[in-house]
Amino acid sequence: MMRVRILYFIAIFSLFSCSNEDEEKLKALARADIIVDANDSIEEQLDRLEQYQEIELNFNKRYVSDLEGLINSAFDKQLEHFEDEELGFFAGFGYMFSYIFKSKQDWEDEMQLKSKKYFGSINVEQDAYNLFLSYQNDISNLRKRFRSRSKDNKLPVQQNLNLPDKRISLGVLSSHSRNNIAIEIISEGIEKLASLLIYPFIAWILSLLFPKFGMVGCVTSIIVFIISIAFSIIISMWNDNSLIEKLREQNKEQIAIDYQKILNELNNNTHRFYESN
């Protein structure tokens, strides 16, 4: 009995200071049946009850900590999703054509739909719900392994987080698209200018370095082309980063959630269950 008790207190102590892999092993230990002797004294039964209760209280802390981390990182994940889906070479050209050919109203309607798609609260609420289901499953499995006489076996219920939709305006995509149009025009101009001014200079340098090389003109054209492409890529990356920063600046509204209140309610549920045994 003492050996089992020591193992469980080691699991409780280590639950929040281990790697994810170790944590899963400890959760498995917490879910495992404790060997119970039919002749256990009242004191030993109380010790066993305390062990289960401490494990469940630690599950409560872990869940609230994970929930806070999920909520705090939600906007960055939304931004990352937006960047993966909506920025880049092909998406940039799509926005340029949309900006040129769509009416002002159609453009604004498209921006509102995309804002709700990427920065709405639905996906965050779903992630929070999935996290709660995993936590609730851990609690349910733990209690099933406890010889319960409790009349109050109600599992914890998820709190209403009341997550607001982020008021993120994608109107900044207008200036982003205009910049991309300007970048393409300037890149073409640089390529033409390089062909007129830089091309002869590069060709002359190559002819000096490689006097017997017969493809000076071809190599020079490639170098001029690379210069133009490099300029386009560098400025486009700056334009994309500028857009992301403008979107980030709009995220001023902090989500106010009373995590201590959530933890207190979960702990109250735990205490009611074990105190009625």
Instruction: Enumerate the domain spans of the chain.
Output: 2-77+121-166+256-275
Distances (CA, A) of 27 to 38, 63, 228, 265: 26, 13, 57, 22
Q: Cα separation of 117 and 105, whole Å?
A: 18
State the burial class of residue 3 (Cβ atoms within 10 Å of its Cβ: 0-12, 13-18, 19+). exposed
Distances (CA, A) of 181 to 90, 98, 247: 13, 12, 20
Place of tokens 């033409």: 192
Give the pLDDT of residue 26: 47
pTM of this structure: 0.69
Query: What would you measure as the largest C-alpha separation in the chain, in angstroms?
Result: 99
Pick from 165, 146, 170: nearest CA to 50: 146
- Token couple for 101: 């050919």
State the burial class of residue 275 (Cβ atoms within 10 Å of its Cβ: 0-12, 13-18, 19+). exposed
Q: What is the pLDDT along the chain (277 residues), one digit of tens a residue?
A: 433 443 444 444 444 444 455 456 545 545 554 444 445 555 665 667 788 889 999 999 999 999 999 999 999 999 999 998 888 767 777 788 888 888 889 888 888 898 888 988 888 999 999 999 999 999 988 888 766 555 556 888 888 887 877 778 888 888 888 888 888 888 777 777 766 666 666 666 666 666 555 555 666 677 777 777 888 888 888 999 999 999 998 887 777 889 999 999 999 999 988 887 7
